[in-house]
């Protein structure tokens, strides 16, 4: 009679839920299931994520060109803008690279597709850049109305990425808008303030001699000074002088001779070339 195990003792013998082995099996099994779930979700969502990032950049391009309308379909509106690739060194258009799939960051690091920026020219502090870059052309009935350039360079904390829109003279700023940066909220992130962005509109990148003069100054621009440098000057952002300097440097680099300078030389276009 004493050989018959009680219910409890028997169950315990068959399956000890609290044993080290079972705990490990459950923990490892659960981790495997979770990692498969997370990994497959990330893989499945990647195309959608990339598409959303692309749409976001398209929206910023439309905004910098003052073409964005409330409720508009970003993709449709963006399709009215012509995307072209240029060879930065020659300033010529190239048709061998697709602007829709071009990855400037990856190309910059590629030995064939990227170039090192000589230290004395690297005012944007980006070390390397791609040989090619996209430009976005807004056309109206009389030809090219605006040229939109991707620009980036070091801020205080991280690289700031944005778009600079120029009028068809290649010199007058139509807008500057950042879509990615790591500047401090309330300090460096004033670069996103609509009133600060508005100050850029109408300012000149270069003087008539072709020297890049644009500058975020300290303090407020004094309009109508004797030399009238105010047309190249942007009000500083209080408590964010270093971010302002970064913006000056990146705009100067990308509109200068090692950036889009050779491309911009063709502007203003003669009537038959537009
Ligand atoms: C936590 C912290 C965050 C800061 N973030 C920024 C920033 O994003 N951009 C910036 O230019 N300065 C930033 N600063 C201030 C800079 O260190 C520097 O003092 C400032 O750029 C000087 O600008 P001002 O001459 O207009 O005061 C930060 C300072 C601290 C302590």
**pLDDT tens figures, 222-257:** 877 666 889 999 999 999 999 999 999 999 999 999
Q: Hey, which of 155, 158, 184, 190 would you mutate to test ligand 1's pocket, going by the most ligand atoms within 8 Å of its Cβ?
A: 184
Go through 43-54 and write b for each residue having 16 or more CB atoms within 10 A of its CB, e for each that does not: eeeeeeeeeeee
Write down how long the chain is.
274
In eight-state DSSP terms, residue 29 is H
Percentage of the chain with pLDDT > 70? 91
Helices in 116-271 by DSSP H: which ranges? 194-200, 241-255, 261-264
Q: Tell me the per-residue pLDDT of 105-142, one tens digit each, with 9 for 90 and over.
A: 999 999 999 999 999 999 999 999 999 999 999 999 98
| Residue 143, beta-bridge partner list | 140
**What pTM does this model have?**
0.85
Q: Tell me the per-residue pLDDT of 53-68, one tens digit each, with 9 for 90 and over.
A: 989 999 999 999 999 9
Q: What residues are in contact with ligand 1 under a 6 Å CB criterion?
A: 156, 183-184, 187-188, 238-243
Q: Is the pLDDT of residue 2 over 70?
A: no
Place of tokens 């981790």: 31
Other Cβ atoms closer than 10 A to 57: 17
Ligand 1 centre and the CA of 187: distance in Å? 6
Q: Please tell me the distance from the alpha carbon of residue 85 to that of residue 260, in angstroms, as a whole number.
A: 12
Q: Using pLDDT thresholds of 50, 70 and 90, give the confidence band for residue 11.
A: low
Q: Which residue has the least CA distance to atom 5 on ligand 1?
A: 184
The atom number, within ligand 1, closest to the CA of 218 reads 26
Residue 44, CB half-sphere, CA atoms under 13 Å: how many? 6
């Amino acid at each position: 009679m004493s050989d018959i195990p009680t219910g409890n003792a028997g169950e315990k013998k068959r399956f000890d839920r609290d044993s080290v082995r079972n705990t490990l099996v459950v923990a490892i099994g659960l981790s495997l299931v979770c990692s498969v779930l997370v990994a497959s979700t990330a893989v499945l969502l990647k195309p959608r994520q990339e598409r959303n990032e692309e749409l976001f950049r398209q929206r910023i391009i439309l905004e910098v060109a003052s073409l964005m309308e409330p409720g508009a379909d970003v993709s449709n509106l963006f399709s009215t803008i012509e995307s072209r690739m240029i060879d930065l060194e020659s300033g010529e258009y190239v048709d061998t690279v697709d602007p829709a799939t071009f990855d400037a960051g990856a190309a910059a690091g590629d030995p064939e597709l990227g170039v090192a920026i000589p230290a004395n020219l690297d005012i944007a502090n980006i070390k390397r850049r791609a040989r090619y870059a996209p430009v976005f052309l807004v056309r109206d009935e009389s030809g090219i109305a605006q040229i939109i350039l991707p620009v980036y360079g070091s801020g205080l904390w991280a690289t700031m990425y944005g778009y600079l829109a120029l009028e068809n003279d290649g010199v007058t700023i139509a807008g500057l808008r950042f879509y990615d940066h790591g500047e401090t909220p309330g300090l460096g992130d004033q670069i996103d303030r609509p009133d600060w962005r508005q100050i850029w509109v109408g300012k000149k990148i270069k003087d008539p001699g072709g020297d890049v003069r644009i500058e975020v100054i300290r303090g407020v621009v004094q309009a109508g000074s004797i030399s009238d440098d105010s047309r190249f000057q942007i009000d500083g952002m209080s408590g964010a002088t270093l971010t302002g300097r970064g913006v000056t440097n990146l705009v100067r680099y990308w509109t200068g001779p090692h950036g889009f300078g050779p491309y911009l030389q063709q502007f203003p276009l003669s009537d038959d070339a537009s």
